Structure 1
Amino acid sequence: MRKYKQLFLIIVSAFILVPFTGISQTKNDAISAYNEGAQLIKSNPVGAIEAFNKCIKICDAVGDEAEETRVLAETQLPGLHYKLAMESYKQKKIEEAIEKFKKAGEIADKYNNSSILAKVNKVVPQLYMVRGNSLMKQNPQEALKNLDKAVELNPNLTKAYLAKGLIYKDLGDELNMKASLIKTMEVGFAHNDIKTADQAELVLRTFYFNKAVTSLKTENMAEAETCFKSAVEYGSKNPMVYFQLGKIYNSNKQYELAVQTLKRAEEFENGGDAEKAGIFYEMGNAYIGLENNSEACIAFKKAMFGDYAEGAKYQIEVVLKCK
């Protein structure tokens, strides 16, 4: 009986010892996996990630005893994923970099690394914009998809709106071009990206000036007027814009507007008397329409140059009989 009792105690002791021995070995395995990852951080980030993930899995199985090791392993992962993404970016593998940065963001969010997450949230929209810019010519629709994604992730990315506007301009989509460029200006001025906002404004006023000139050639005066007004709205200081708009106002018998607009043309014209002659000739016609002959005489006298000299002389001597 004593013999059986001793045997029973040995068996029970064995069962008691096995779990603790197993835990000790498993914890050591976790530490070993962590150390393996730590050694690979610089030379082999992919291998390091695998080792740290293995470590975390072991720690989860062990439980509270391996909590410290698990936290150490988790801390390493966001930075390693970010490092892999940066390597792809430096190699100009933009699509690959985007996916890796997104993965880094997921890991950073999972393990509460706000610093890495903030970096990812800043860089990913930029990369979508870079990809969009690279596709502008060969695949504009795909470029627009990438740029849309960029502004979805960062609504304040001024240059992405500008790129969209330029693509729509090349596609002949005036409505979306205008909307994108206006958005560029709104965001740019609001966030102190004045240079990009000014670029958008330049594109708009140049577009509408060119469209107005084309409309004049086809004698579509209503469209020409609208486009010249748009050029003015977007900051044009081109005297030709105001001169042509003044002529249109004269033809519409809007003489007050004509005078105001032609005075702006005079203000922006940096040339001499010959360059300003046409402006003063039209101003003279506007004053005639306003029945202000004294001002008309002054204007026509200033128009006595170049191609306008003969017509101005006729108005002065025959029509108005200026003194």
Structure 2
Amino acid sequence: LGRIYYYNKMYDEAKKSFQNATLANPKNADAHYRMGLINYMKKKYSEAIKSFDKAIHVKPEFPKAFYSKGLSFMKLNDKSSAIKNLKTAVKQDPKLDRAYFNLGNIFLESKNYREALNYFTKDKQLRPNNPDTNFKIGEAYHEMKSYNNATQFYEKTIELDPQHYQALFNLGLIKYAKKQYNDSIALFQKAANIKTDDHASYYEIGKSYESSGNENKAIESYSKAISINPNYTKAYINLGQLYSKLKLFDKAVEQYKNAVTNNP
């Protein structure tokens, strides 16, 4: 009954059911585990850890409990405890792909890119066609400035998920860095079409147009970025510099004033 409540997101009812189960049988590892999941879903991460510990005490070989405990520590920003529990999870169950993925994320955030790649690659061996895994490998390579490898995995991500905004955007950044402006514009435009309220794509389109010598399109794109986010200082500065280059000094001064107003 508790599981039915849980899967229907009736967490209070599920919690009561699992509490009764643990009272009736304190060695019911699954009930303790489910209690932990409910506390996790309710963002009570410390309580969740206590429940997972009870489950593990009863059943020491419980990879999903170690995995969920690791996620709880991640939410509490306790990375060392998260790593310890996630590593135990994959030691007990080497096919627990999401544990590899989350280990990779921790090391990526810690800028330990080689270790991140190690875990994302293990995840990819289990889930070769998962777009997020391929994207994360690309991101790790990108941070390592291994642009050809990053390109390969971003392209694979987009092949698997053509609507993957961040892969399109990041690949656009690489194409821009390589001065492949037509490609970068096309990629940023696809990203902008997916996330219509995002100023960053239009700003990058503006930079690509400006670098390719198309000042009018650059002005149009910077202006679009500003219309989406009127507080976007970088777009005002670039627009001001572009107007100065075109000797439209009154317009340039206006944009610089806007930049100062937004970033005094």
Relative to the length of structure 1, the TM-score reads: 0.40
Question: By percentage of residues, which structure has more helix?
Answer: 1
Give the TM-score of the pair, scaled to structure 2. Answer: 0.48
